[in-house]
Amino acid sequence: MGAAGKGGAKMTTLELLKIQIELVIELSGMQGPGATLLRSALKAVEDEQRWIPVEENSMPEEDRMILVADSKGQVSSAMFHAKSQSFTVYRFCGGNDDFLGQQIVGVLDFPTHWRPLPKGPEEIKGKTTP
């Protein structure tokens, strides 16, 4: 469960972690390399989880699966095509909790943001992935 932030809005885990790190630094009087290391580690996590606005012109690599979000807040997996500057968006369809397959659909609104897919699990069925 997240804590309530400003205006009663629910805080994300990352926001809570940032507050906790700053409190540890402040209460311990930590300075120099230790404080810098903690803040650098937090920045790396923030950058990894950041949604990148399409308008920044830092588009993903060609034919790489990514996550996209549109102006309505819909999130889907997609693939970016550099030559045509377009996305193929993949949405799952199904009913009654049964997986029926993948369906490729057009985007009602052009994606406004993208981010890389998260890393997969390090262990799958007792086997460590390379």
pLDDT at 11 over 60: yes
Q: What is the pLDDT of residues 70-119, one digit of tens each?
A: 888 888 888 888 787 778 887 665 554 544 445 555 544 678 899 988 87
Check residue 108 and give its pLDDT: 45
Mean pLDDT of the chain: 77
Check residue 100 and give its pLDDT: 46
This prediction's pTM: 0.59
Q: Is the dihedral of CA 98, 73, 63, 129 positive or negative?
A: negative
What are the sequence ranges of the domains in the chain? 6-49, 54-124
CB 76 within 8 A of CB 89: yes
Class of the domain covering 54-124: mainly beta
Say which amino acid occupies 10. K
Q: How many CB atoms lie within 10 A of CB 78?
A: 23
**Structure tokens, 39:** 């803040």
Residues 52 and 80: their CA atoms lie apart, in Å, by: 14
Check residue 72 and give its pLDDT: 83
Query: Three-state DSSP class for 92?
Result: strand
Residues 107 and 77: their CA atoms lie apart, in Å, by: 11
- Residues whose CB is less than 8 angstroms from the CB of residue 17 and which lie 6 or more positions away in sequence, other chains included: 42, 45
